[in-house]
Amino acid sequence: MATIKLTNVTKEFGSNLSKVTALKDVNFIAESGQLILIVGPSGSGKSTFLTIIGNLQKPSSGTVEINNTDIQTLSKKQSDALRLNQIGFILQSYNLVPYLNVYEQFTLANKVKKTGNLSHTELNALLTQLNIENIQHKYPSELSGGQNQRVAIARALYTNPTIILADEPTASLDSVNVSEVGQLFHSISQNKHKTVIVVTHDLRLKKYADKVYNITDGILTLEKNV
């Protein structure tokens, strides 16, 4: 079953001479259990693609469906609920609240989404898997870039979403950590049947992906299909 379905999605910014087309007639389907990489240069439309799936902005034309729901028809409150319950965002920076320690980042999520989150045991297992089980009382400013990013990944997974949207999640990680994150995303998609969409420059993640798309000037093309 298609978890994410984009049909003839076009996104344009500006008008007349200043008009820029960020996405051109994109058709895309992602199913549960798939790790999909979107690769492309800066300004190619990767982030636009990601934010349209996350319902942070609307396409100029076309339809976007998440779990068979046309998300363009959702109200602001319903959009918030969609992102809170079904989507986990992992961003390049500012992922963590600077005045909350690692443990409190999860407490915050727990206070907003009161049910359906990972259990204490599952969270501990995840933190161990990410090798951040011993830094729970540290603040983001006391962590390395790699540790921060791994906490952000754990934070996104904590609410148990069906979809993970990651924007350059390995930007601040060394090779060892990139490999660990790649394996983690692969494991999440395969074992927990999540749909993981990763927008990245990092070609080292390609080997973990089920599908790799190239995006250039807003045109999405399939490069690899396992």
Binding residues vs another protein (CB under 8 A): 22, 45-52, 54, 56-57, 77, 80-85, 87-89, 91, 93-100, 104, 107-109, 111-113, 139, 156, 167
At its nearest, how many Å lie between another protein and the CB of residue 6?
A: 14
At its nearest, how many Å lie between another protein and the CB of residue 95?
A: 6
At its nearest, how many Å lie between another protein and the CB of residue 10?
A: 14
At its nearest, how many Å lie between another protein and the CB of residue 175?
A: 26
Do residues 70 and 64 lie in contact, with contact meaning Cβ atoms separated by under 8 Å? yes
At its nearest, how many Å lie between another protein and the CB of residue 80?
A: 5
> 14 vs 121, which CB is nearer to another protein?
14
Do residues 211 and 225 lie in contact, with contact meaning Cβ atoms separated by under 8 Å? yes
> 76 vs 120, which CB is nearer to another protein?
76
> 48 vs 210, which CB is nearer to another protein?
48
What are 148's two structure tokens? 């921060």
Q: How many CA atoms lie within 13 A of 147 on its CB side?
A: 16
> 210 vs 218, which CB is nearer to another protein?
218
What are 195's two structure tokens? 């749909």
Distance between alpha carbon 124 and the CA centroid of its chain, in Å?
A: 22
CA distance 216 to 197: 17
> 36 vs 164, which CB is nearer to another protein?
164
136 burial type by CB count under 10 A (0-12 exposed, 13-18 middle, 19+ buried): middle
At its nearest, how many Å lie between another protein and the CB of residue 46?
A: 8
> 113 vs 206, which CB is nearer to another protein?
113
CA distance 161 to 86: 4
Do residues 142 and 148 lie in contact, with contact meaning Cβ atoms separated by under 8 Å? no
| SS3 (DSSP) at 9 | strand
> 58 vs 193, which CB is nearer to another protein?
58
CA distance 75 to 80: 9
At its nearest, how many Å lie between another protein and the CB of residue 93?
A: 8
Closest CA to 133 of 114, 113, 149, 150: 150
